Each structure stands twice: as C-alpha cells, then as structure tokens.
Amino acid sequence: MANPNKVVGQCTLTANGIRLETSGGTQMEIGGVKREPKMGDYQASGFSESTEPSKITAKVLYKGVLSLAQIRAMDNVTVFLETDVGVSWVVRGAYCAEVLSFDTKEGMADVVLQGPPAEEVR
C-alpha cells in the first residue's frame, strides 16, 4: 500500500511513445472548467464557464538520442505523465505548444506540451 503521507516529487513523461527524461520541476496544469464570476449591482450573481487546455512544462535531459525536431513536430499525440505517488495523467490529442529551447550549460531542453483537459488515471 502506498504511503498516504508521500507527496509528488518525481514523474516520468512519455509523449507519442517517446520517453522524455525529465529533470525535476515538471509542472502540469490539468485543464478543465474555468469559472468566471459575473457581477450584479451588489454581489457576484453567477458565473460563466469555459474550458481551459492542459499544459505540461518540463525540463528534459538533452542527449544525442533525443530529437528536438521530432518533439517540435508533435501534433495530435498521446502524452502520459506518471507521478511517484501512483497517480497518472493522460492527455489525448496533445501538441508541442512553444518553440523549444535548450541550454548547453545545464544540458536541458525546455518542452511545453498542451492539449485538451487531462484525464486522471489511477
């Protein structure tokens, strides 16, 4: 049984079957419904809803076997993010959202993937 006191500290990231070796600090916005308050004259009288995309921002080890061009071309792919606490997320129809960059001093590439709201998998 998993320790109920453990918090997320590490993850693995797989996009279109390619394992991206993350190096800490991976962030995920799971997307979904966003509610905006609608004000009446004297109080918040209601809200409207919109759907926000999911977004994964990761620092990836940039090794010779990793093709940034292949990541840049990703469109309509499936992304799996698995945490070290037993919770995973899947984004179907994801795409590379931003221009990729890398840092030769750190040996890392910055990767941003977006798509429809993520689905939790346990």
82 pLDDT more than 70: yes
Q: Per residue in 89-108, pLDDT tens?
A: 999 999 999 999 999 999 99
Return the closest-CA partner of residue 82 out of 12, 7, 4.
Answer: 12
CA 75 to chain centre: 14
pLDDT score at 66 = 92
Report the chain's mean pLDDT, rounded to a whole number.
94
pTM above 0.85, yes or no: yes
Least confident of 16-20, 39-43, 67-71, 83-87: 39-43
| DSSP state letters, the chain | ---TT-----EEEEETTEEE-B-S--EEE--EEEEEEEE-SSSEEEEEEEEEPEEEEEEEE--TT--HHHHHT-EEEEEEEEETTS-EEEEEEEEE-S--EEETTTTEEEEEEEESPPEEE-
Q: How confident is the model at residue 23 (pLDDT cuts 50, 70, 90)?
A: very high
The predicted pLDDT at position 72 comes to 96
CA dihedral over 101, 103, 107, 110, signed as positive or negative: negative
- 97/114 Cα distance (integer angstroms): 6
pLDDT score, position 40: 86
* pLDDT over 90 (residue 41): no
* 1 band by pLDDT with thresholds 50, 70 and 90: low
